[in-house]
Amino acid sequence: MIVVTSVLASTVEAGARPAAPVRTYQVRTYGCQMNVHDSERLSGLLEAAGYVRAVEGTDADIVVFNTCAVRENADNKLYGNLSHLAPRKNAEPDMQIAVGGCLAQKDRDAVLKKAPWVDVVFGTHNIGSLPVLLERARHQRVAQVEIAEALQEFPSALPAARESAYAAWVSISVGCNNTCTFCIVPSLRGKEVDRRPGDVLAEVQTLVDQGVLEVTLLGQNVNAYGVSFGERGAFADLLRACGNIDGLERVRFTSPHPAEFTDDVIEAMAETPNVCPTLHMPLQSGSDRVLKAMRRSYRAERYLGIIDRVRAAIPHAAITTDIIVGFPGETEQDFQDTLDVVARSRFANAFTFQYSKRPGTPAAVLADQLPKEVVSERYQRLIDLQEQISLQENQAQVGTQVELLVAAGEGRKDAATARMSGRARDGRLVHFAAGGAEIRPGDIVTTTVTRAAPHFLVADGVVSAHRRTRAGDAHAAGVRPVTGVGLGMPGVGAPPAAPVTGGCAL
């Protein structure tokens, strides 16, 4: 996935003459929700230092790549995009390119060897250094590489320029203590470090005070939350505490780990009204033999038991998952075991991946790496099964009434179909007919599902209720929430415009 952060920059007041051109930036994001949220912080840091976002469709003075290293094609995407920028960098030496995130943490100096026109390389633990590194590279005309080995400051202390007026990410932890053999994340983001509950809740309250209706709590393993400060049950307590925040209408979280998913979390989900009836529970494989080789410390029956208990407590919960196809040594029977678990679990959706060998992970050196054609054939069979299940599960929603948080940019064909889009409380995407009403992203509407497809629902009937919200007001005004604090860094953009004085212009 690639997300480009680029919106209209501030304008100069009529009649004012800026002392120097404002330097603009663009952040290009690859990968998971963690990276998307980190990019909000990168934007916040750059804006605090005086940069402004580039107007959509224009060339930015600074292009920042926030990278992912989970899959092999992430490398190819990054270096392909860097190559595309090389001619512009050659023609405009003052434009700057920065590479950060997980792939930068992994490749380090190799980034400059492959793309010597890059100005700054920074890692996952020191995103706060970006403005200083850019200034240093600009003045010294020498590329800057700074890769910290451990977290220097919890990222949520950094300023963040939020992308949405109505929904926000809130990190509760960074890093991971698991040792899955296919995953490179622990070596790039380090051991788990948790924020104190009071800090998390204070950030949530700050967002709600600015009109945000929905928060998603983020962590590599959210149900291990509390390990850093020795409190068992801390995640369930955090969910319940979110339920006490007035104005917070929806709470989601990602991702839990089946090995540590406990009944107190299920109870908190069921008993806290603003916790949404949705759960993303990574499976990875339905084969006990493969799960053991992956070092996933649960087995298929335990996983299915969690699904059963969640559905008993929250009957209408929409459950999604992650699955890897073609792990080294996976047999046809192992794959059939996965298909069996998928059929029993009845996932609303599944994020499926063909195994990607990542240097530095134990799985990369395992024997019995599978031929690509075998992996591709199994992958397609899994896709076909899950598409069938997703369609059946969505068809069961036809005729039901849904409450939607109206979203921006979720429906790529909305303009052609004269529909808008929103997310139901269970996370399903719904394209709905607005019927000419003045509905804004961030508003809440209630409508009835009329049709289903594997990946979305359609509601072409009359909107039965529409609630205008502060979030909708903010979105319409182009106002986005801001969190974090400034770091006292010197500005690098244009200084305030000087007053116009008399005299002749030469």
Question: Mean pLDDT over residues 94-112, rounded?
Answer: 90
Contact of 242 with 201, CB cutoff 8 Å:
yes
Taking 3-state DSSP, the helix, strand and coil percentages for the chain, each rounded to the nearest 5, stand at 35, 20, 45
User: Quick check: 20 pLDDT over 50?
Assistant: yes
Q: Give CA–CA dist 269/263, Å, rounded.
A: 10
Q: Is 102 annotated as a binding residue?
A: yes
Q: Give CA–CA dist 41/154, Å, rounded.
A: 11
What's the pLDDT at 491?
37
The tokens describing 449, both together, are 């599902």
Q: Do domains 156-396 and 400-481 have the same CATH topology?
A: no
Question: Mean pLDDT over residues 171-200, rounded?
Answer: 89
Neighbour tally for 313: CB within 10 Å: 15
Q: Give tens-digit pLDDT for 389-419.
A: 999 999 999 999 999 999 998 988 888 899 9
pTM for the full model? 0.84
Q: Give tens-digit pLDDT for 447-486.
A: 999 999 999 999 999 999 999 999 999 999 999 998 875 4
Q: Give CA–CA dist 415/331, Å, rounded.
A: 46
pLDDT tier, 157 (very low <50, low <70, confident <90, very high otherwise):
confident
- DSSP type of residue 404: E
What's the pLDDT at 3?
45
User: Quick check: 154 pLDDT over 90?
Assistant: no
The single-letter code of the amino acid at 354 is Q
Q: Is 504 annotated as a binding residue?
A: no
Question: Mean pLDDT over residues 116-140, rounded?
Answer: 92
Neighbour tally for 10: CB within 10 Å: 10
User: Quick check: 33 pLDDT over 90?
Assistant: no
Question: Mean pLDDT over residues 422-429, rounded?
Answer: 98
Q: Give CA–CA dist 25/460, Å, rounded.
A: 40
Question: Mean pLDDT over residues 210-223, rounded?
Answer: 95
What's the pLDDT at 293?
97
CATH H superfamily, domain 24-146: Methylthiotransferase, N-terminal domain (3.40.50.12160)
Question: Mean pLDDT over residues 334-363, rounded?
Answer: 95
User: Quick check: 505 pLDDT over 50?
Assistant: no
pLDDT tier, 506 (very low <50, low <70, confident <90, very high otherwise):
very low
Q: Give tens-digit pLDDT for 178-189.
A: 999 998 887 788
Question: Mean pLDDT over residues 81-87, rounded?
Answer: 94
Helix axes 130-140, 33-48, angle to 10 degrees: 60
The single-letter code of the amino acid at 448 is T
Torsion of CA 290, 354, 172, 317, to 10 degrees: -80
What's the pLDDT at 170?
95
Q: Give CA–CA dist 72/360, Å, rounded.
A: 12
Locate the domains of the chain by residue range: 24-146, 156-396, 400-481
Name the nearest CA neighbour of 329 among 370, 272, 378.
370
What's the pLDDT at 104?
87
User: Quick check: 73 pLDDT over 80?
Assistant: no
CATH number assigned to the domain covering 400-481: 2.40.50
What's the pLDDT at 498?
33
What's the pLDDT at 19?
53
The single-letter code of the amino acid at 303 is Y
Name the nearest CA neighbour of 177 among 245, 257, 120.
257
- Residue percentage of the chain with pLDDT more than 90: 69
CATH H superfamily, domain 156-396: tm_1862 like domain (3.80.30.20)
User: Is the model more confident about 80 or about 18?
Assistant: 80
User: Quick check: 123 pLDDT over 70?
Assistant: yes
The tokens describing 338, both together, are 């996965």
Contact of 426 with 390, CB cutoff 8 Å:
no
Question: Which stretch of DSSP H or E encloses residue 41?
Answer: helix 33-48
Q: Give tens-digit pLDDT for 358-393.
A: 888 999 999 899 999 999 999 999 999 999 999 999
DSSP E strands: which ranges in 266-399?
278-280, 318-325, 349-354
Neighbour tally for 433: CB within 10 Å: 18
Question: Mean pLDDT over residues 347-357, rounded?
Answer: 95
What's the pLDDT at 343?
98
Q: Is 242 annotated as a binding residue?
A: no
Torsion of CA 189, 194, 199, 204, to 10 degrees: 70
- Residue percentage of the chain with pLDDT more than 70: 91
- Give backbone dihedrals phi and psi of 96, rounded to 5 degrees, phi first: -125, 150
pLDDT tier, 143 (very low <50, low <70, confident <90, very high otherwise):
very high
Inter-CA distances, 31 with 4, 77, 303, Å: 12, 11, 26
Q: Give tens-digit pLDDT for 52-69.
A: 999 888 999 999 999 887
What's the pLDDT at 83?
93
What's the pLDDT at 502?
33
Q: Is 276 annotated as a binding residue?
A: no
Contact of 459 with 479, CB cutoff 8 Å:
no
Torsion of CA 279, 285, 287, 291, to 10 degrees: -100
pLDDT tier, 496 (very low <50, low <70, confident <90, very high otherwise):
very low
What's the pLDDT at 292?
97
pLDDT, averaged across the chain: 89
The tokens describing 69, both together, are 């290293």
